[in-house]
Amino acid sequence: MIRRAVGTLRSADTHLIAVAMTLFFLLLHLTIIGTPWPEDLEACRVAKEKCSFVFDEAHYVPAVREMMAGRPANNEHPPLSKWLMQLGMTVLGDNPYGWRISSVITGTLSVYVLYRLAALLLGSGWAGLAVAFLYAADVTSFNLSSIGVLDPPTNLFLLLSAYLLLRRKTLLSGLVMGLALLTKASAVFGVGALVLYELLRSSRGPNVAERLYAGVRGAYLLVLISASVMVSGLALYDAYLGAFPTPLAHLDFILSYHSSLTFNCLGGMNPFYCVHANQDGTTVKVDLPLSWTLPGVTFQPMGFYVVTVSVDGTSYRPVAYYGMAAPLWWTSWVVMAYFLVRGVISAWRQVARGDDPYADPHRLDLLLACWFGLNYLVYFPLAYLAHRWVYPFYFYQVVPFLALGAVRLLLQGRFERAVLLLLLAATAFWFFAYYPVRSDAHIQLLRSLGLPA
């Protein structure tokens, strides 16, 4: 019977399963899209304090309202994610449905795109499903894809551009990279990783000089296409709303703004956090990049929006949106060390010896090394040396590629596959325990298991 079940699974269409999984997570998002809901929606439209915004919705929904009124707002970030929010608010109204639908759709679509990317790189639909599930059920990833923020469209376009690039559709990949750059400023790190990958991958020729020339030419094409799309989008925004005289002036403002976001460290910095002193004397804890990924010293969960109810001396949280580490995050240093070393070796072999860049596992090693370097490790000099503000939810951009690396690493033998099953089970358990909107039955079950409710 067990063999028959295994045989049935092996013959199953993993693409259909991926579609079903994507629809399942879409349904989960849609069932909670209205929570929290403002007590007085009309008052919310006048004063944002009445809106019960989750996390950075407090910045972006008012900005979109300004844009809908014909005024520029939140110019420190490019406009595309806010345009998508504006579309949702135009169709569904200025309410939580309209605020969040663009994140729900783009965040859910990114699960399917990641499945396609992982199946392509790992050569297995089942491996692709494992990667997609680790991403979809990651608590921070799910919660960000449930609320009105800029990040889900960024991840969708970055994953799609990576998939197209690996399919050798350079023009389309560059166009989608440009869309990613138009969603959020931090997309530049993801695009930078893909451009670096293309530079290394394109390094072909009879000698080192010609290989380097070919690599730079390939990377230049991506930069030209993506930058053209971004500048065109900024020009459209600036012309329509009169924000800046030129898109280059807008880009200069974005760079200046983000360069100015620095913290001080009251009493000095330790490897995991420091305490920032505000001008009014209050203090804020800054969770530094090392605390995002190390078990035992992991940052405390960020409460995006938490409702605590006390009844007869017992407290529970029917709504609890958190940004938090999950079991996958704690695999980071093992996975990153493995692929960074292999990626550097593959890059050297590619440039110095002209090895085939399309051969497995070269392209996976190169891609993950570039991604981890420019989307996680880049925050170490920014935070520890430049004292630029960083937040743990920035790791959201790393999670899909970390899942890809973890699954690849855990497919190598029977013991490793057992660890992969354990990681999948732990991720599912974590997702259940920290699901953001809990019914009475859910809360009772958590209590019966001795878990925080």
φ, ψ for residue 437 (rounded to 5)? -125, 115
Q: Please enumerate in sequence order all residues whose Cβ is within 8 A of that of 85, keeping only pairs 6 or more positions apart, or say none.
A: 60, 61, 64, 98, 99, 102, 103, 148
Query: Would residue 2 count as lying in a domain?
Result: no
Query: Would residue 36 count as lying in a domain?
Result: yes
Predicted local distance difference test score (pLDDT) of residue 211: 83
Cβ pair 214, 204 in contact under 8 A: yes
Q: How many domains does the chain have?
A: 1
The sign of the torsion formed by the CA atoms of 404, 408, 410, 411 equals positive
Neighbour-count burial of 283, counting CB atoms closer than 10 A to its CB (0-12 exposed, 13-18 middle, 19+ buried): exposed
Query: Would residue 351 count as lying in a domain?
Result: yes
Q: What is the pTM of this model?
A: 0.95
Predicted local distance difference test score (pLDDT) of residue 264: 92
Query: Would residue 397 count as lying in a domain?
Result: yes
The parent domain of residue 360 ranges over 14-448
Distance CA 35, CA 209 (A): 58
Predicted local distance difference test score (pLDDT) of residue 10: 63
Query: Would residue 453 count as lying in a domain?
Result: no
Query: Would residue 334 count as lying in a domain?
Result: yes
State the distance between the two ends of the chain, measured CA to CA, in whole angstroms: 38
State whether residue 72 is helix, strand or coil: coil
Query: Would residue 24 count as lying in a domain?
Result: yes
What is the mean pLDDT, run by run of 10 residues, along the chain of 453 residues? 56 91 98 96 91 96 98 97 98 98 99 98 96 99 98 99 96 98 98 96 82 88 97 98 97 97 89 93 94 93 94 90 97 97 90 65 90 98 96 98 98 94 98 97 94 87
Query: Would residue 326 count as lying in a domain?
Result: yes
Predicted local distance difference test score (pLDDT) of residue 101: 99
Predicted local distance difference test score (pLDDT) of residue 209: 83
Predicted local distance difference test score (pLDDT) of residue 203: 81
Question: Among the residues of 1-145, which ranges form H helices?
Answer: 2-11, 14-32, 41-44, 57-68, 80-92, 96-122, 125-136, 139-144
